[in-house]
Amino acid sequence: MFDKILVANRGEIAIRVMRTCKEMGISTVAIYSDVDKNAVHTRYADEAYHVGTSPSLQSYLNGDKIIEISKESGAEAIHPGYGFLAENPEFAFKCVENKIVFIGPDSWAMAKAGDKIASRKFVKKEGIPVTPGSDEAVENDDALEIAKEIGFPIILKSSAGGGGISMGVVEDKKDLLKQLAIARSSSLSAFGNPNIFIEKYLVKPRHIEFQILADKHGNTVHLGERECSIQRRFQKLIEEAPSVVFDNKRRNEIGERAVEIARLAEYTNAGTIEFLYDGKEFYFNEVNARLQVEHPVTEMITAKDLVKDQIKIAAGEELDYSQKDIQFNGWAMECRINAEDPYNNFLPSPGKITLYEPPGSIGTRIDSGLVVGSEIPTFYDSLFAKVIVWGDTRETVVERMKRALGEMRVEGIETNIPFHLKVLEDDSFKIGDIDTTFINRKGIIDKLKKEGEKNIIEMARKVAVIAAVLTQSRDGMTSYLKFDKKVDDHQSVSKWKMAGRFHQISRRPPR
């Protein structure tokens, strides 16, 4: 087993990996950019090293510098978390070249399975259904030809990564080349790889994925499915396990398909096989050759520590359980908490945290990367915490999640908690009638915008009333002061002065 692991990431996922390392008696090394000098993950680790300036390309995507730090610190292995270099086969290969263990699939398997284009090819070759699309990175002429062949609407995807980054639906020919250029630029910035491919856009599918684990001794298992259909701009926001569309028979069938894909790719370590379900057929979508953001819901219903299994597999150990040993218990759900303003079209909301009160109680887990005083920077993804709850039934989980989100207090920034509460209150969501178009189909964002406008109007009205009082004659002011009998004149005047700023400091209603 390793003595020291470098965690090549930041925020909540870095802390989550470090916690398991601590339980295993393994020392940890953090890396940090300029803006993350005082971040929680930097302080939580046993050692911390500056990796570069704040932009990702100069810090968390700087593979050569990360390897240099690993050598300097004496770390025998690197855990990439998710995002950044987690699915970069070149980085995984460089680790091996430098006699550092990469905690994930080897570079060859990652290139075959983690690269979205390569995985489409070998899965299609084995006769497993895939959505119609391109089997190579497209150039401008190819894109127009393929789109014409499969028909609009189509979807553009990055070959190198996930998280909704670089993805976009194109409805007709006139927008294709412009959107393709944008997707290439976004993919290059996020993953260091500009390759984009095309798929037919399925109109109302469910997004369902299977968690797999594979060791270096030929043992591969799946740990059930996760439903990830609640998405905005292809970014997952609410995930749950299991899915309402699965019974044991279907779980075994599609789970075996996921295991087969992993074996065909000669895959080791943790990964996710993703499918799109149109109500009739499960189409292979992609392999995520890394730990997923939503892995906690699987941990909650299986009582497995996926990071611990990742580390043990990377160290050459054999899985200590087989498929028949995996038991599924109850239901789990995760809400991603982002620094965004849901009342203002999810505008990013960077800033300093002035109040942070996470929820608690039975069946509630918080994976977070912040404390009071933490900065939410503009350089990285706005995800800063995940609320995960467990219960014996889905109904229990929905109510428990509503309670947990209602307890959570974060000030200094805006968060998407009101969005989550709006979804959880929807009758269709409560019965599991969901798909990837749910948010648009239900008008969730429009409802939030209207609520935001209503709140602003109401606050403006209150400010106008107070302003009117302040401009009244002495008699009018005296009458107002008599009305406010519970406070003295000085306190009343202070209240009026503060009221003038009320609309600035209260952009959302209290929950």
Which residues are registered as beta bridge partners of 230?
A: 238
**3 state DSSP class of 86:** coil
pLDDT digits (tens, 9 = 90+) for 226-264: 999 999 988 999 999 999 999 999 999 999 999 999 999
Tokens of 151: 């028909």
Is residue 483 very low, low, confident or very high in pLDDT (cuts 50, 70, 90)?
Answer: very low
pLDDT above 60: residue 491: no
Cα–Cα distance measured from residue 247 to residue 329, given in angstroms and rounded to the nearest whole number: 14
For the cut 90, the answer to whether the pLDDT of residue 121 exceeds it is: no
One-letter amino acid at 5 equals I
Q: Say yes or no to pLDDT of 508 above 60.
A: no
- Predicted TM-score (pTM) of this structure: 0.84
Nearest to 291 by CA among 355, 367, 374: 367
Q: Which residues are catalytic?
A: 290
pLDDT tens per residue, range 62-119: 999 999 999 999 999 999 999 999 999 999 999 999 999 999 999 999 988 878 888 8
Q: Is the omega angle on the peptide bond into residue 377 within 30 degrees of 0, that is, cis?
A: no
Query: How many CB atoms are located within 10 Å of the residue 386 CB?
Result: 23
Q: Which residue is listed with tokens 């065909």?
A: 264
Are 57 and 192 in contact, with CB atoms under 8 Å apart?
yes
Give the tokens for residue 47. 């050692």
How far is Cα 95 from Cα 64, in angstroms, rounded to an integer? 9
d(CA 266, CA 280): 29
Tokens found for residue 414: 């805006």
Read off the pLDDT of each residue in 144-154 and give the average, rounded to a whole number.
91
